[in-house]
């Protein structure tokens, strides 16, 4: 919940929401303080509800980056490359990471000889 108060000739906007750090900012004009308060509160509420506008990378992008930056330096690079390339062929590889659930996408892989992928 936001609070506006006049302090030392300026307007102070304070937002206190349980589970979040307290936000305080001082403005010259009452309108500016009120606008900031509403925007900041809305941003916090959206993050809690999971509707914040966060752009997640695609599974394909994350897999390729892992292959090029991490897996290259490992002894088992060839094995990992085969597994990851087969995963990148799947339809869901074009989904953002936040939309992929391991219990739905990777069920068939242990049976196909790859072992536990997760």
Do 81 and 108 reside in the same domain of the chain?
Answer: yes
Tokens 């941003």 sit on residue: 43
Please state the domain count of the chain.
Answer: 2
Q: Is-contact 60 86, C-beta < 8 A?
A: no
pLDDT in tens, 83-94: 999 889 988 888
| pTM listed for this prediction | 0.46
**H-assigned helices in 1-118:** 30-49, 59-69, 77-88, 102-105
- Determine the structural domain holding residue 104 and report its residue range: 59-112
Contact 27, 14 (CB under 8 A): no
> Are 30 and 6 within one domain?
yes
- Beta bridge partners of residue 2, listed in sequence order: 15
What pLDDT does residue 107 have? 53
**The total number of residues written for the chain in this structure:** 118
- Residue 22 and residue 42 in one domain: yes
Cβ–Cβ under 8 Å, residues 21 and 29: no
Regions of the chain with pLDDT less than 50: 111, 115-118
């Amino acid at each position: 919940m936001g609070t506006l108060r006049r302090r030392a000739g300026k307007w102070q906007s304070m937002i206190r929401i349980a589970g979040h750090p307290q936000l305080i900012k001082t403005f010259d004009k009452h309108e500016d303080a009120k606008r900031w308060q509403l925007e900041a509160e809305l941003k916090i509420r959206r993050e809690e509800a999971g509707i914040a506008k966060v752009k997640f990378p695609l599974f394909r992008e994350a897999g390729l980056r892992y292959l090029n930056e991490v897996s290259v330096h490992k002894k088992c690079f060839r094995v990992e490359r085969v597994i990851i390339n087969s995963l990148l062929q799947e339809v869901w590889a074009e989904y953002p990471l936040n939309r992929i659930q391991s219990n739905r996408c990777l069920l068939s892989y242990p049976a196909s000889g790859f072992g536990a992928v997760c």
